[in-house]
Chains A and B, each alone.
Chain A
Amino acid sequence: MPGITREEVSHLARLARLELKPEELEHFAGQLDDIIGAVARVGEVADQDVPPTSHPLPLTNVMRADEVRPSLTPAQALSGAPAQEQQRFKVPQILGEE
């Protein structure tokens, strides 16, 4: 059994920049545990001879030629930006004072 702990959920929440209340941590720990437990059952039927799959299609080497295609205009690129300055995306302070 996977046994997802409250601490693991808290860690993941921090990495994902999610602010979770203590009761939510409990709640999600239980839910994630159920989900992972359900998925883990696949391992019971997939034996050593079944390679892990990350893609449903048996395709490899899908590539394009190194040819330039039109880009968006700067105005188009910035059209969804909440804020912009000097034709650049403006983002809030990244780090505070040391």
Chain B
Amino acid sequence: MARVTAGIDVGGTFTDLLLQDASGRVRLAKVPTTTANQADGVLAAIAAAGSTPAALDLIIHGTTATTNAVLERKLAKVGLITTAGFRDVLELGRRTRPHPYGLKGGFEPLVPREWRREVAERMDARGGVVTPLDEEAVARAVRALLAEGVEALVVHFLHAYANPAHERRAGEIARALWPNAYVTLGHELLSEFREYERGTTAAVNAAVQPVLDRYITRLQDQLAAQGHRRDLLVMNGNGGTVAARLVAKDAAKTVMSGPASGVMAAAATLAQSGLANAITYDMGGTSTDVALIAGGVPEVSAELSIAYGLPIHLPMVDVRTVGAGGGSIAGLDAAGMIRVGPESAGSLPGPIGFGRGGTRPTITDANLVLGRLDPARLLAVAAPVPLQHLRDAFAESLATPLGITVEAAAEAVLRLANVHMTGAIRMVSLSRGHDPRDFCLFAFGGAGPLHAVALAREIGIPMVLVPARPGLTNALGCLVADLRQDAVNTLNRGLDDIAAEEITETLTAQRDRATALVLADAAEVERVEVQHVAEMQFRGQTHLIRVALPRADMARAEIQAAFEAAYFARFQVHLPEIRAVLVNLATTVIGRRRQLDLSALLDPAARDGQALVGERDLYAEGAWHRAAVWQRERLVEGARIAGPAIIQQADATTVLEPRSEAVVDAIGNLRITVQP
């Protein structure tokens, strides 16, 4: 079936689109994000790709609408109904502070205290009723919150993961009175113990639900007005998509969807490249996202936080964000030590080279001074800045005080930035028992390919992979993403206390529930895959280890053995002395969509081999080199380029350091081998 499909990702700065038409050809577009109404940017991107909403059979959409709403606190008015004695749980948190040192910084809960109402009810830890639900009180609280103008409601009771009866009943009462669909029950979204994390997850959901619902409705309406006939698919933070009509119910799942889509694109690219292990490295202007793909599967975590005090305990692609990007400011501290970050020039005033008023040298400026970036090709420049201004800034703040050349200072800044990044990458890999040298570095984002080769050398990673369209990876993630639903239940009992049948029944019920949701868009699904996971620990521990269960009907001894093997792989410790506890059972159902042939990302007509387009001066490893400049889009399969060299394309620049060599593989990736 020939169809026209578009992946559209709305990022902080740009709205990116990848469109595959009926002939299999791929078209691209990159337009500025329209902050006031992201839908305008989406329509502009479709137009820029030379298409119309009417011509599209399917749109898969990634949005930062909910992420921005949380970070900027532009949220719905949320009310909470909770167990008597516990209305402050969401404000008290877990006894933390924003930073280990310094007793500063505050926290505002998502639901202010005046909209947190208590009702008499109580379950114990085993789900037994201690105090029956005061149904009248629930109705009174609902009416009072409505009178206050509250738009979304959370019902969150203690131990509802063990017995949700009170939460369900209170939900029925509330839904009968509530004028819209924005009622979130804590256990429905996340049936796990830990009242603060579960409650906060529910509060995030309620706070972004109306925001997301309005945005998606507006977008669908605007698309429909221009003739689009289908329901959208929307990206979730678990790396899968969900039908637009279902997305608002679990809106919190979209909060970290942007970074997840990049990782899913990486996973799809690896699969078609015959590779299994990668560390993804997405460097942007203000931050860098790092994630791990082992055996073809992106690591998943259910313990991520979007900001201080805002954990979202839903299964999501485990993307770690490091506060270092092209805008990180370099300088000397009071004792003359070189520093890069944590201060950032952000996008305003931005790097000096952007001409928006920046005066302090940044990582991007170091790249400009060293000839790694071509100022003429920057997308974000407001007014051209003479290179001498940048050199003067490096001289004043670094080179002169240190008694070194401007080039040496700029290179030191890049090296130190890479050393810091190395730390972050080691944390994501080693702390999970992986040796980074067994992985390739999958570089994308505007700035990832600029630093990737030097960074790989710093860590000892032997190969860098730069995909065909590094600046459009999130849009590609949308285009290739499958449908995906997760279900989690808490058992939290010794493995030897749990009957094998209970495990099988729980997993089977999870599978059935999630499959029904995935098949809500059955036309898109080629085949359904089911993954079961047990989250386990030794008794007395608090951290969880995820153990893959190949089947729902595993014997206990098999689960025990799988857990011990996973534990040893992570910590190199055997603990036969201590009992294993099965904390959570989880099931993921994936509805696989038709695969996109990624070699289509590069236009075959453009690949004429006439790729050598010039040369320029490039400073690397302490010396200026005359480096060849290659045009990425024109490289043919099998082309080999030895560093030092520069490979430029519309959406990114790749720097090949000395002693590295790139080969163009069958689907158009640059595979760069890095000598130590």
Physical interaction between A and B: no
